[in-house]
């Protein structure tokens, strides 16, 4: 069942899946309202959605042309659909003034991505800011009609698909847990009896916007922190200010305001940057693998093992979109920022454009994120397990150790189908000689194993780990590769008796 779900959601990008999810909710809301089940005007839903789409796309085009920058309409459409689901639907004949104010929410939302920026990266969730500004200026606040209980099953079902795609179940789970804790604490502190506390639980989770806010808006990658410990504080801030009973100096906070306060914290701690990088050179490794080198940006700093979102200015793209997440393969001490990708005979439009890049062509890198980084405790024994192109974050870590001369007890298990897909082998040999990183290669395709092969053969399993990794149960394991490879490794390690707390896996939002 899970494989079927993964096959379905991996056929598209994270952004496209969110777009389909929001569109599906609008269609369902329209059907329910037409049937009289949802107390919302169906004509208002259609009118409001069309107007928001028109002004959002139009505003995006206007700013991109005025500023001479490339634009991505997918994001503006998503913003418009979010606003359509949270603003009170209104038809032209019903109240044209209100409809104009809601249209301004779309203008404010899109404009914020161009005006309220630092390092070419916007600070606030656009939809939250748009609806907040129309509230304080015109008194037109969001109704959050998507939070109606009859919409909840669809919000949850679609939300599960989105969260599985972006691997944010823990993120949203912590938020909902903290919010429940804050609601209970607040209710009990006011002297409410337990039955009323439980009743308030049911109301805030079943009849409000909390689930939608958590799945769609709280998880937006651009305006949320990239490191887990920062995310916990961000989540706690939003959950706290979201409390319906909270008042500070006589002021209460709307969901949009709670999220914007969280965005301010996220900006303060993460300081994300949007980099326009020209290609310096490219290196063909064989096996369809290529490394792309860009000048290391001045003032940029990353931790070894982190990843970024890489966007190409495609005029048109297939269902996979124009954005991908790639690990940074270089160490911070290198003069170039490296990205390594695998290409297949039948590639997406993104991969085709990437493969055709020549020196001087540019790509946009943003959203530096990830906790899959080298542990600070150098005395801790480690084991790296890489499947195919999953070697890239380990290349960053091992190059860092070589450049700094830091010795660590590390064993790298590197799995490929055939020897032509093995990359960075010279570096791994150097690391073994200089800093003691042991590398174990294994080939999984029997037809491609050379006659003089001296490494391992077959898939990495618990038996291979036990025989090649000294003190196997004592190590911290870091696993990177396709989702199927990672799951296989987690099973093998648990079979070996390795505790879950000693297994870390790489995170790629929207891996496909």
Q: Please give the CATH architecture assigned to the domain spanning 382-505.
A: 3-Layer(aba) Sandwich (3.40)
Q: What's the pTM value of the predicted model, to 2 decimals?
A: 0.85
Sign, CA dihedral 116-119-125-126, equals positive
Tally Cβ neighbours within 10 Å of residue 338: 22
Q: Where are the domains of the chain?
A: 2-270, 275-369, 382-505
pLDDT over 70 (residue 2): no
pLDDT over 90 (residue 121): no
Q: Domain 275-369, what fold?
A: Elongation Factor Tu (Ef-tu); domain 3 (2.40.30)
Q: Helix, strand or coil for residue 49?
A: helix
Question: Within its chain, how far is the Cα of 475 from the centroid?
Answer: 28
pLDDT over 50 (residue 206): yes
pLDDT over 60 (residue 509): no
In the CATH scheme, what is the code of domain 2-270?
Answer: 1.10.3430
Residue 265 near residue 234, CB atoms below 8 Å: yes
- DSSP-derived pairing of the beta strands 382-387 and 476-480: parallel
pLDDT over 80 (residue 124): yes
Closest alpha carbon to 286 in 187, 418, 165, 459: 418
Q: What pLDDT band is residue 317 in, cutting at 50, 70 and 90?
A: low
Residue with more model confidence, 324 or 103: 103
pLDDT over 80 (residue 198): no
What's the token pair of residue 71? 């634009």
How many helices and strands (H and E) does the chain possess?
17, 15
Residue 126 near residue 113, CB atoms below 8 Å: yes
What's the token pair of residue 460? 């990495």
What's the token pair of residue 243? 């409390």
- Summarize pLDDT for 136-183 with one digit per residue, the tens: 999 989 999 999 999 999 999 999 999 988 888 999 999 999 998 888
- Summarize pLDDT for 68-85 with one digit per residue, the tens: 777 778 889 999 999 999
- Summarize pLDDT for 407-440 with one digit per residue, the tens: 999 999 999 999 999 999 999 999 999 999 999 9
Residues 6 or more apart whose Cβ sits within 8 Å of residue 151: 25, 28, 29, 32, 38, 145
pLDDT over 50 (residue 368): yes
Residue with tokens 């989770």: 205
Report the pLDDT value the prediction gives residue 510, as an integer from 0 to 100.
Answer: 45
DSSP assignment string, 102-147: HHHHHHHHHHHHHHSEETTEE-S-HHHHHHHHHHHHH------GGG
Residue with more model confidence, 251 or 230: 230
Report the pLDDT value the prediction gives residue 470, as an integer from 0 to 100.
Answer: 94
What's the token pair of residue 64? 């991109």
- Highest mean pLDDT among 4-13, 19-28, 86-95, 358-367 belongs to 19-28
Report the pLDDT value the prediction gives residue 511, as an integer from 0 to 100.
Answer: 47
């Amino acid at each position: 069942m899970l494989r079927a779900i993964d096959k379905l959601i991996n056929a598209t990008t994270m952004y496209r899946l969110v777009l389909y999810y929001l569109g599906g909710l609008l269609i369902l809301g329209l059907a329910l309202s037409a049937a009289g089940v949802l107390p919302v005007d169906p004509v208002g839903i259609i009118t409001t959605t069309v107007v928001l789409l028109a002004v959002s796309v139009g505003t995006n085009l206007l700013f991109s042309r005025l500023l001479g920058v490339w634009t991505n309409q997918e994001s503006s459409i998503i913003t418009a659909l979010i606003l359509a689901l949270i603003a009170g639907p209104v038809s032209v004949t019903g109240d044209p003034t209100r409809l104009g104010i809601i249209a301004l929410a779309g203008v404010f939302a899109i404009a914020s991505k161009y005006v309220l920026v630092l390092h070419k990266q916007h600070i606030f969730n656009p939809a939250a800011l748009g609806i907040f500004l129309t509230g304080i200026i015109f008194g037109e606040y969001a109704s959050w009609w998507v939070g109606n209980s009859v919409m909840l099953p669809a919000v949850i079902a679609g939300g599960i698909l989105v969260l599985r795609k972006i691997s944010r179940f823990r993120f949203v789970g912590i938020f909902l847990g903290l919010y429940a804790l804050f609601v209970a604490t607040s209710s009990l502190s006011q002297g409410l009896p337990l039955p009323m506390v439980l009743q308030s639980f049911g109301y805030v989770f079943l009849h409000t916007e909390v689930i939608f806010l958590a799945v769609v808006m709280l998880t937006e990658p651009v305006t949320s922190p990239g490191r887990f410990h920062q995310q916990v504080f961000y989540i706690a801030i939003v959950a706290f200010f979201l409390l319906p009973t909270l008042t500070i100096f006589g002021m209460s906070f709307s969901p949009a305001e709670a999220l914007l306060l969280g965005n301010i914290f996220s900006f303060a701690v993460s300081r994300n940057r949007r980099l326009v990088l020209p290609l310096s050179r490219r290196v063909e490794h064989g096996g369809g693998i290529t490394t792309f080198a860009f000048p290391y940006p001045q003032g940029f700093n990353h931790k070894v093992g982190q990843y970024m979102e890489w966007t190409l200015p495609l005029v048109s793209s297939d269902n996979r979109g124009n954005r991908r997440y790639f690990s940074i393969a270089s160490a911070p001490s290198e003069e170039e920022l490296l990205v390594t990708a695998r290409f297949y005979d039948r590639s997406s439009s993104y991969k085709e454009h990437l493969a055709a890049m020549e020196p001087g062509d540019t790509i946009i890198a943003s959203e530096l994120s990830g906790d899959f980084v080298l542990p600070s405790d150098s005395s801790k024994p480690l084991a790296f397990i890489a499947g195919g192109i999953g070697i890239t974050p380990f290349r960053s870590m091992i190059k860092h150790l070589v450049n700094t001369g830091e010795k660590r007890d590390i064993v790298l298990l590197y799995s490929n189908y055939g020897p032509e897909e093995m990359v960075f082998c010279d570096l791994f040999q150097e690391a073994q000689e200089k800093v003691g990183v042991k590398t174990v290669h294994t080939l999984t395709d029997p037809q491609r194993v050379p006659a003089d092969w001296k490494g391992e053969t077959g898939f990495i399993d618990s038996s291979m780990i036990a025989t090649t990794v000294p003190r196997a149960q004592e190590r911290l394991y870091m696993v990177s590769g396709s989702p199927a490879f990672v799951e296989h490794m987690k099973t093998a390690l648990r079979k070996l008796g390795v505790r879950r707390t000693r297994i870390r896996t790489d995170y790629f939002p929207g891996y496909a």
